[in-house]
Structure 1
């Protein structure tokens, strides 16, 4: 879900050594949502990045970014699927070069690749961590299971984020689906409304990042980025006991796209 990607990016911790914010790239072969959602032009954006991918020195992503009202930098894409599918193909074929940018570029690139499907394999192969986003029902988790059984060695880099109510515990999900890292995010209509562009007035509330979704997303983002300590109580403590949080040295910090968020089910 794009809302989940934006929550993680908005809650991503500033690194003490550089303070670099992540860049979200809409890399969905079916087209993007953010340009329409927030009323920003789709150029410069994904199509410009794809054009640059053909060059020997594609330059930095920063020239193609827009700034969302809550401080997240994004590379947006148009709604049209055909153009986006071709752009994603070109970027995937370029390998890491166009996503890494110039030598001076630092930080994390978060790829929002949309639903499970064909056309994004190259991006997933290049990502340091792949985040699957699913609701907690058996029907949605069945789609996750089907994908994970085909993932092969790539499954070691997967994190499953379960959104909203779920009748299953993290240990049961991990054992059944074969994914080592399982985390939960609450369904929070107030925070989701801000991230969906429906409640810009809420941005005037200085503590909107203290809403439930943003608090939980911050904890997940810290685990993924390797900054700060993992909480010793609550869900993080339970997951640490299960080996379900990223180990030291296996975190997303600098360079290539850190996450490829995929929606499994609906």
Structure 2
């Protein structure tokens, strides 16, 4: 099962949402894959090396033997989950994603893979992941301009994402009710992610503490994870490779 988390404009908190979604996935954490072609931030935020990671996986997929598991490519995050970190350099990240986006390598890494693809700009190599996604979570600010920008892009995204589902997660204050947004955009609002400095600080590596899972942001992300996990599967799941723990 592949879940893509993205935005279409601005810095709407995609990395924070993707990390929380993977960490709070029902029953067991998902595998977080940092597939942002503009460069990754996880290694810097959590004091990790950039290898192994996305670039290592891309090199193995291009030149190596068939992959036998995710363990050689993932690292552990303090939140109790594994992550495939992206390189910080945009050129390296985009090249690695260009290799992986059009083959079934990413979704075969674990039973649930949450891919943070950053901003889905026109021509982003991350578009190659959309046709295989079980669900696409579009993270947006609740301001008029961000919702309007999302509205202009949704028709094309729904086509490229078929047969997966598309839903919206609205971040921060918003003057509109979820049903109003859904009626305008033509897709469901799966979550409202509140402004929560403590919860966001833990997910960005600035703070630690087991109580973070009780924050308002964590509660909203847990509910979002349950909603996405409950989406009907459009086709049989591809056999997955377990992360070695």
1:171 & 1:215 partners in 2: Cα distance? 21
Residue 229 of structure 1 corresponds to none
Residue 116 of structure 2 corresponds to 112
2:234 & 2:46 partners in 1: Cα distance? 31
TM-aligned CA distance change 1:27 to 1:121, over 3 Å: same
Alignment of 1:45-64 (within 5 A): 45-54=53-62, 55=64, 57-64=66-73
1:98 & 1:10 partners in 2: Cα distance? 18
2:204 & 2:186 partners in 1: Cα distance? 32
TM-score (norm 1): 0.77
2:193 & 2:25 partners in 1: Cα distance? 15
Alignment of 1:191-210 (within 5 A): 191-200=199-208, 203=209, 206-210=210-214
2:179 & 2:134 partners in 1: Cα distance? 24
1:198 & 1:11 partners in 2: Cα distance? 19
Q: How far 1:10 moved relative to its partner? A: 1.6
TM-score (norm 2): 0.83
* 1:75 partnered with 2:84: yes
Contact 1:164–1:186 under 8 Å retained in 2: yes
Contact 1:108–1:256 under 8 Å retained in 2: no
Q: 1:217 aligns with which of 214, 221, 237?
A: 221
* 1:97 partnered with 2:105: yes
TM-aligned CA distance change 1:255 to 1:8, over 3 Å: farther
Which is higher, the Rg of structure 1 or of structure 2? 1
Q: 2:141 aligns with which of 126, 135, 145?
A: 135
Contact 2:196–2:216 under 8 Å retained in 1: yes
Structure 1 ranges of 4+ moved more than 4 A: 251-257
Alignment of 1:1-266 (within 5 A): 1-14=14-27, 20-54=28-62, 55=64, 57-94=66-103, 96-101=104-109, 106-117=110-121, 118-153=124-159, 154=161, 157-200=165-208, 203=209, 206-226=210-230, 246=231, 249-250=232-233
Contact 2:170–2:189 under 8 Å retained in 1: no
Q: How far 1:60 moved relative to its partner? A: 1.9
2:203 & 2:87 partners in 1: Cα distance? 19
1:216 & 1:91 partners in 2: Cα distance? 31
Unmatched 5+ stretches in structure 2: 1-13, 241-245
Unmatched 5+ stretches in structure 1: 15-19, 227-245, 258-266
Contact 1:11–1:221 under 8 Å retained in 2: yes
Q: CA RMSD in A?
A: 2.2
Q: How far 1:182 moved relative to its partner? A: 3.6
Residue 241 of structure 1 corresponds to none
Q: How far 1:157 moved relative to its partner? A: 1.3
1:197 & 1:251 partners in 2: Cα distance? 35
